[in-house]
Protein backbone atom coordinates (compact mmCIF):
# COMPACT_ATOMS: atom_id res chain seq x y z
CA UNK A 1 0.00 0.00 0.00
CA UNK A 2 2.76 2.43 0.92
CA UNK A 3 5.44 3.60 -1.47
CA UNK A 4 9.01 3.56 -0.19
CA UNK A 5 10.07 6.37 2.11
CA UNK A 6 13.43 6.65 0.37
CA UNK A 7 12.82 6.49 -3.36
CA UNK A 8 15.79 8.74 -3.97
CA UNK A 9 18.06 5.91 -2.82
CA UNK A 10 16.77 3.37 -5.36
CA UNK A 11 19.18 1.70 -7.72
CA UNK A 12 17.88 -0.04 -10.83
CA UNK A 13 17.26 -3.62 -11.73
CA UNK A 14 18.14 -6.01 -8.84
CA UNK A 15 17.27 -9.62 -9.57
CA UNK A 16 16.66 -10.41 -5.88
CA UNK A 17 15.71 -8.29 -2.89
CA UNK A 18 16.58 -9.17 0.70
CA UNK A 19 13.84 -8.40 3.20
CA UNK A 20 15.52 -7.30 6.44
CA UNK A 21 13.57 -6.86 9.67
CA UNK A 22 15.66 -5.34 12.46
CA UNK A 23 13.76 -5.62 15.72
CA UNK A 24 14.59 -4.57 19.25
CA UNK A 25 16.33 -7.87 19.99
CA UNK A 26 16.42 -9.72 16.67
CA UNK A 27 17.33 -9.61 12.99
CA UNK A 28 15.30 -11.51 10.39
CA UNK A 29 16.24 -11.89 6.71
CA UNK A 30 14.36 -13.37 3.77
CA UNK A 31 14.53 -13.77 0.01
CA UNK A 32 11.80 -14.85 -2.39
CA UNK A 33 11.62 -15.62 -6.09
CA UNK A 34 8.84 -14.51 -8.42
CA UNK A 35 6.98 -17.44 -9.97
CA UNK A 36 3.89 -17.75 -12.12
CA UNK A 37 1.32 -17.58 -9.33
CA UNK A 38 3.12 -15.27 -6.93
CA UNK A 39 6.32 -15.90 -5.01
CA UNK A 40 8.43 -18.82 -3.87
CA UNK A 41 10.19 -18.62 -0.52
CA UNK A 42 13.91 -19.17 -1.05
CA UNK A 43 15.79 -18.33 2.16
CA UNK A 44 14.84 -17.30 5.67
CA UNK A 45 17.09 -16.73 8.68
CA UNK A 46 16.88 -15.10 12.08
CA UNK A 47 19.11 -14.32 15.04
CA UNK A 48 18.36 -13.10 18.57
CA UNK A 49 20.22 -10.87 21.01
CA UNK A 50 20.18 -10.16 24.73
CA UNK A 51 21.05 -6.47 24.35
CA UNK A 52 18.82 -4.07 22.46
CA UNK A 53 19.66 -3.26 18.85
CA UNK A 54 17.28 -0.29 18.72
CA UNK A 55 16.52 2.64 21.00
CA UNK A 56 13.66 4.95 20.11
CA UNK A 57 13.88 3.57 16.58
CA UNK A 58 17.57 4.39 16.16
CA UNK A 59 20.10 1.63 15.52
CA UNK A 60 22.26 1.85 18.64
CA UNK A 61 25.53 0.39 17.29
CA UNK A 62 25.56 0.58 13.50
CA UNK A 63 28.88 -1.23 13.14
CA UNK A 64 27.71 -4.14 15.32
CA UNK A 65 24.37 -4.51 13.54
CA UNK A 66 26.08 -4.31 10.15
CA UNK A 67 28.49 -7.08 11.13
CA UNK A 68 25.71 -9.25 12.56
CA UNK A 69 23.60 -8.72 9.45
CA UNK A 70 26.50 -9.69 7.20
CA UNK A 71 27.13 -12.82 9.27
CA UNK A 72 23.45 -13.82 9.22
CA UNK A 73 23.26 -13.40 5.45
CA UNK A 74 26.34 -15.57 5.03
CA UNK A 75 24.96 -18.24 7.37
CA UNK A 76 21.62 -18.19 5.55
CA UNK A 77 23.28 -18.47 2.14
CA UNK A 78 22.05 -15.13 0.80
CA UNK A 79 24.43 -13.41 -1.61
CA UNK A 80 22.28 -10.58 -2.99
CA UNK A 81 23.43 -7.03 -2.21
CA UNK A 82 20.04 -5.31 -2.62
CA UNK A 83 17.83 -4.91 0.44
CA UNK A 84 14.55 -3.59 1.77
CA UNK A 85 14.03 -2.72 5.43
CA UNK A 86 11.35 -1.17 7.62
CA UNK A 87 11.17 1.37 10.40
CA UNK A 88 9.38 0.76 13.68
CA UNK A 89 5.94 2.26 13.35
CA UNK A 90 6.21 4.21 16.60
CA UNK A 91 9.13 6.19 15.13
CA UNK A 92 7.21 7.54 12.15
CA UNK A 93 4.42 10.09 11.94
CA UNK A 94 1.40 9.31 9.80
CA UNK A 95 -1.26 11.83 8.91
CA UNK A 96 -4.40 11.45 6.83
CA UNK A 97 -5.47 14.60 5.04
CA UNK A 98 -8.12 15.56 2.53
CA UNK A 99 -7.30 18.19 -0.08
CA UNK A 100 -9.01 19.51 -3.21
CA UNK A 101 -8.14 17.55 -6.33
CA UNK A 102 -4.65 18.36 -7.65
CA UNK A 103 -3.27 17.17 -11.01
CA UNK A 104 -0.54 14.56 -10.65
CA UNK A 105 2.16 16.88 -11.98
CA UNK A 106 1.42 19.42 -9.23
CA UNK A 107 0.85 16.99 -6.37
CA UNK A 108 4.41 16.93 -4.99
CA UNK A 109 4.45 20.69 -4.46
CA UNK A 110 0.99 20.67 -2.89
CA UNK A 111 1.92 17.85 -0.51
CA UNK A 112 5.09 19.66 0.57
CA UNK A 113 2.98 22.59 1.73
CA UNK A 114 0.67 20.22 3.62
CA UNK A 115 3.63 18.48 5.26
CA UNK A 116 4.83 21.79 6.65
CA UNK A 117 1.43 22.20 8.32
CA UNK A 118 0.79 18.70 9.69
CA UNK A 119 4.25 17.34 10.57
CA UNK A 120 5.74 18.90 13.75
CA UNK A 121 9.34 18.96 12.48
CA UNK A 122 11.16 21.21 10.00
CA UNK A 123 11.32 19.82 6.46
CA UNK A 124 15.11 19.71 6.61
CA UNK A 125 14.92 17.29 9.55
CA UNK A 126 12.68 14.66 7.95
CA UNK A 127 12.13 12.39 5.00
CA UNK A 128 8.52 12.05 3.93
CA UNK A 129 6.35 10.37 1.34
CA UNK A 130 2.66 10.18 0.58
CA UNK A 131 0.07 7.81 -0.82
CA UNK A 132 -3.15 8.69 -2.63
CA UNK A 133 -5.72 6.60 -0.78
CA UNK A 134 -8.55 7.02 -3.26
CA UNK A 135 -8.22 7.03 -7.06
CA UNK A 136 -7.96 10.51 -8.49
CA UNK A 137 -11.52 11.76 -8.63
CA UNK A 138 -12.66 12.12 -12.20
CA UNK A 139 -15.08 14.81 -11.03
CA UNK A 140 -12.16 16.87 -9.79
CA UNK A 141 -13.36 17.09 -6.20
CA UNK A 142 -11.32 15.80 -3.23
CA UNK A 143 -8.29 13.57 -2.66
CA UNK A 144 -7.51 11.53 0.47
CA UNK A 145 -3.80 11.30 1.21
CA UNK A 146 -1.70 9.40 3.72
CA UNK A 147 1.49 11.26 4.61
CA UNK A 148 4.31 9.37 6.31
CA UNK A 149 7.36 11.12 7.77
CA UNK A 150 10.46 9.95 9.61
CA UNK A 151 13.36 11.80 11.18
CA UNK A 152 16.44 12.00 9.00
CA UNK A 153 18.72 10.79 11.78
CA UNK A 154 16.81 7.50 12.01
CA UNK A 155 16.63 6.94 8.25
CA UNK A 156 20.27 7.92 7.74
CA UNK A 157 21.25 5.47 10.49
CA UNK A 158 19.62 2.63 8.55
CA UNK A 159 21.21 3.72 5.28
CA UNK A 160 24.66 3.86 6.88
CA UNK A 161 24.23 0.51 8.64
CA UNK A 162 23.35 -1.22 5.38
CA UNK A 163 26.24 0.52 3.65
CA UNK A 164 28.60 -0.81 6.34
CA UNK A 165 27.17 -4.28 5.69
CA UNK A 166 27.94 -3.92 1.97
CA UNK A 167 24.26 -3.67 1.05
CA UNK A 168 22.27 -1.25 -1.08
CA UNK A 169 19.18 -0.20 0.89
CA UNK A 170 16.67 0.35 -1.89
CA UNK A 171 13.38 0.43 0.01
CA UNK A 172 12.54 1.67 3.48
CA UNK A 173 8.99 0.87 4.58
CA UNK A 174 7.18 0.82 7.94
CA UNK A 175 6.67 -2.45 9.81
CA UNK A 176 2.95 -2.05 10.51
CA UNK A 177 2.32 -1.30 6.82
CA UNK A 178 4.34 -4.36 5.83
CA UNK A 179 2.17 -6.57 8.02
CA UNK A 180 -1.13 -5.05 6.91
CA UNK A 181 -0.09 -5.26 3.27
CA UNK A 182 0.62 -8.94 3.79
CA UNK A 183 -2.83 -9.36 5.32
CA UNK A 184 -4.30 -7.63 2.27
CA UNK A 185 -2.44 -10.11 0.04
CA UNK A 186 -3.72 -13.11 1.99
CA UNK A 187 -7.15 -12.02 3.21
CA UNK A 188 -9.32 -9.36 1.59
CA UNK A 189 -12.75 -9.60 3.23
CA UNK A 190 -15.13 -6.91 2.05
CA UNK A 191 -17.89 -7.53 4.56
CA UNK A 192 -15.95 -6.96 7.79
CA UNK A 193 -12.77 -5.46 9.22
CA UNK A 194 -9.84 -7.50 10.51
CA UNK A 195 -7.31 -6.69 13.22
CA UNK A 196 -3.59 -7.37 13.12
CA UNK A 197 -1.77 -7.48 16.45
CA UNK A 198 2.02 -7.60 16.17
CA UNK A 199 3.32 -8.43 19.65
CA UNK A 200 7.03 -7.65 19.61
CA UNK A 201 9.80 -7.37 22.17
CA UNK A 202 9.15 -3.76 23.16
CA UNK A 203 5.83 -2.73 21.67
CA UNK A 204 2.57 -4.18 20.36
CA UNK A 205 1.33 -2.68 17.11
CA UNK A 206 -2.39 -2.93 16.42
CA UNK A 207 -3.96 -2.14 13.06
CA UNK A 208 -7.51 -2.47 11.80
CA UNK A 209 -7.84 -3.24 8.09
CA UNK A 210 -10.91 -3.08 5.87
CA UNK A 211 -10.61 -4.31 2.30
CA UNK A 212 -7.51 -2.66 0.83
CA UNK A 213 -6.99 0.05 3.44
CA UNK A 214 -5.91 0.69 7.02
CA UNK A 215 -8.73 2.13 9.10
CA UNK A 216 -6.97 2.60 12.43
CA UNK A 217 -3.58 2.02 14.08
CA UNK A 218 -2.39 2.06 17.66
CA UNK A 219 0.85 1.25 19.48
CA UNK A 220 0.88 0.00 23.07
CA UNK A 221 4.07 -0.14 25.10
CA UNK A 222 3.76 -3.79 26.07
CA UNK A 223 6.13 -6.42 24.69
CA UNK A 224 7.74 -9.73 25.50
CA UNK A 225 10.93 -8.11 26.77
CA UNK A 226 8.96 -6.55 29.62
CA UNK A 227 7.68 -9.98 30.67
CA UNK A 228 11.22 -11.38 30.57
CA UNK A 229 12.43 -8.56 32.84
CA UNK A 230 9.53 -9.13 35.25
CA UNK A 231 10.32 -12.86 35.44
CA UNK A 232 13.99 -12.11 36.07
CA UNK A 233 13.21 -9.72 38.93
CA UNK A 234 10.58 -11.96 40.51
CA UNK A 235 12.69 -15.12 40.43
CA UNK A 236 16.05 -13.34 40.87
CA UNK A 237 17.58 -14.97 37.80
CA UNK A 238 19.65 -13.78 34.82
CA UNK A 239 18.01 -12.41 31.68
CA UNK A 240 18.75 -15.47 29.52
CA UNK A 241 17.31 -17.80 32.16
CA UNK A 242 14.22 -15.60 32.44
CA UNK A 243 13.83 -15.65 28.65
CA UNK A 244 13.96 -19.45 28.69
CA UNK A 245 11.25 -19.60 31.36
CA UNK A 246 9.12 -17.19 29.31
CA UNK A 247 9.39 -19.37 26.23
CA UNK A 248 8.62 -22.60 28.09
CA UNK A 249 5.77 -21.19 30.19
CA UNK A 250 7.44 -22.03 33.49
CA UNK A 251 4.98 -22.69 36.33
CA UNK A 252 6.94 -20.47 38.74
CA UNK A 253 5.93 -17.42 36.72
CA UNK A 254 2.27 -18.22 36.00
CA UNK A 255 0.99 -15.10 37.76
CA UNK A 256 3.24 -12.93 35.58
CA UNK A 257 2.13 -14.77 32.44
CA UNK A 258 -1.51 -14.23 33.33
CA UNK A 259 -0.93 -10.53 33.96
CA UNK A 260 0.92 -10.08 30.66
CA UNK A 261 -1.59 -11.86 28.43
CA UNK A 262 -4.44 -10.18 30.27
CA UNK A 263 -2.97 -6.72 29.65
CA UNK A 264 -2.35 -7.37 25.95
CA UNK A 265 -5.82 -8.83 25.45
CA UNK A 266 -7.42 -5.94 27.32
CA UNK A 267 -5.66 -3.31 25.20
CA UNK A 268 -6.63 -5.07 21.97
CA UNK A 269 -10.23 -5.20 23.15
CA UNK A 270 -10.17 -1.48 24.06
CA UNK A 271 -8.84 -0.67 20.60
CA UNK A 272 -11.58 -2.66 18.88
CA UNK A 273 -14.29 -1.14 21.09
CA UNK A 274 -13.06 2.36 20.28
CA UNK A 275 -13.04 1.62 16.56
CA UNK A 276 -16.53 0.13 16.58
CA UNK A 277 -17.82 3.04 18.68
CA UNK A 278 -16.56 5.54 16.10
CA UNK A 279 -17.85 3.44 13.19
CA UNK A 280 -21.05 1.76 14.43
CA UNK A 281 -21.76 0.12 11.08
CA UNK A 282 -18.43 -1.73 11.08
CA UNK A 283 -17.78 -5.16 12.55
CA UNK A 284 -14.50 -6.91 13.29
CA UNK A 285 -14.56 -10.46 12.00
CA UNK A 286 -11.11 -11.79 12.84
CA UNK A 287 -7.88 -10.98 14.68
CA UNK A 288 -4.53 -11.98 13.18
CA UNK A 289 -1.80 -12.47 15.75
CA UNK A 290 1.89 -12.18 14.86
CA UNK A 291 5.26 -11.17 16.30
CA UNK A 292 7.72 -13.18 18.37
CA UNK A 293 5.88 -12.55 21.63
CA UNK A 294 2.64 -13.84 20.11
CA UNK A 295 4.00 -17.27 21.02
CA UNK A 296 3.65 -16.62 24.75
CA UNK A 297 1.37 -19.28 26.18
CA UNK A 298 -2.39 -18.64 26.36
CA UNK A 299 -2.18 -15.24 24.65
CA UNK A 300 -4.27 -16.34 21.68
CA UNK A 301 -6.91 -17.91 23.92
CA UNK A 302 -7.02 -14.90 26.25
CA UNK A 303 -7.59 -12.50 23.34
CA UNK A 304 -10.43 -14.69 22.06
CA UNK A 305 -12.01 -14.74 25.52
CA UNK A 306 -11.61 -10.98 26.03
CA UNK A 307 -12.88 -9.91 22.62
CA UNK A 308 -15.25 -12.72 21.63
CA UNK A 309 -13.60 -12.67 18.19
CA UNK A 310 -11.81 -15.51 16.40
CA UNK A 311 -8.02 -15.22 16.66
CA UNK A 312 -5.69 -16.79 14.13
CA UNK A 313 -1.91 -16.78 13.88
CA UNK A 314 -1.00 -14.86 10.74
CA UNK A 315 0.48 -17.39 8.32
CA UNK A 316 2.66 -15.47 5.85
CA UNK A 317 3.54 -18.66 4.00
CA UNK A 318 0.03 -19.16 2.59
CA UNK A 319 0.82 -17.13 -0.51
CA UNK A 320 4.26 -18.67 -1.07
CA UNK A 321 5.11 -21.80 -2.98
CA UNK A 322 7.49 -23.98 -1.01
CA UNK A 323 9.40 -23.21 2.17
CA UNK A 324 13.00 -22.43 2.96
CA UNK A 325 15.02 -25.15 4.65
CA UNK A 326 15.00 -25.60 8.43
CA UNK A 327 11.87 -23.59 9.20
CA UNK A 328 10.38 -24.23 12.62
CA UNK A 329 6.94 -23.54 11.35
CA UNK A 330 4.93 -21.79 14.09
CA UNK A 331 7.91 -19.77 15.35
CA UNK A 332 8.97 -18.65 11.88
CA UNK A 333 5.33 -18.00 11.03
CA UNK A 334 5.30 -15.36 13.80
CA UNK A 335 8.75 -13.89 13.16
CA UNK A 336 8.73 -13.84 9.35
CA UNK A 337 5.92 -11.53 8.13
CA UNK A 338 7.80 -8.22 7.88
CA UNK A 339 10.94 -9.60 6.24
CA UNK A 340 8.84 -11.79 3.99
CA UNK A 341 6.68 -8.95 2.73
CA UNK A 342 9.68 -6.66 2.24
CA UNK A 343 11.35 -9.21 -0.02
CA UNK A 344 8.25 -9.27 -2.26
CA UNK A 345 8.71 -5.58 -3.01
CA UNK A 346 11.19 -6.54 -5.72
CA UNK A 347 8.29 -5.81 -8.07
CA UNK A 348 8.36 -2.14 -7.05
CA UNK A 349 11.90 -1.82 -8.39
CA UNK A 350 11.33 -3.38 -11.79
CA UNK A 351 11.72 -1.02 -14.72
Domains delineated in the chain:
7-91+152-228+250-349 (3.30.420.40), 92-151 (3.30.1490.300)
Mean pLDDT computed over every residue of the chain: 88
Alpha helix (H) residue ranges in the chain: 62-76, 104-118, 152-164, 175-186, 224-235, 239-248, 254-278, 299-307, 329-335, 337-343
C-alpha triplet 26, 28, 34: angle, nearest 5°: 170
Distances (CA, A) of 99 to 126, 133, 140, 146: 22, 12, 11, 11
Smallest CA-to-CA distance from 46 within 336, 341, 247, 307 is with: 336
pTM (two decimals): 0.89
Residues 291-316 pLDDT 10s: 999 999 899 999 999 999 999 999 88
| Residue-level pLDDT at 10 | 44
Residues 174-229 pLDDT 10s: 999 999 988 888 776 667 899 999 999 999 999 998 877 788 899 999 999 999 99
| Residue-level pLDDT at 351 | 52
pLDDT below 70 — which residues of the chain?
1-13, 134-140, 188-190, 319, 321-330, 350-351
Amino acid sequence: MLRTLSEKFHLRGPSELIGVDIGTTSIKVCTVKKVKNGFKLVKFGRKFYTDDLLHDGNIIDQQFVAQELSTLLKETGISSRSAAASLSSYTVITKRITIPYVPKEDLDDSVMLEVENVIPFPLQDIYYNYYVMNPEDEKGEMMNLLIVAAKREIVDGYINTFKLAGLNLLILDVDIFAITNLVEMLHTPKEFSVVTADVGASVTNIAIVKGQGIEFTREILIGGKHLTADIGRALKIEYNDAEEKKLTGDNEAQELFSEFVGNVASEINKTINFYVATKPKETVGKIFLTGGSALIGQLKEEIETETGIEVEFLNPFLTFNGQADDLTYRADQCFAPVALYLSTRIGDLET
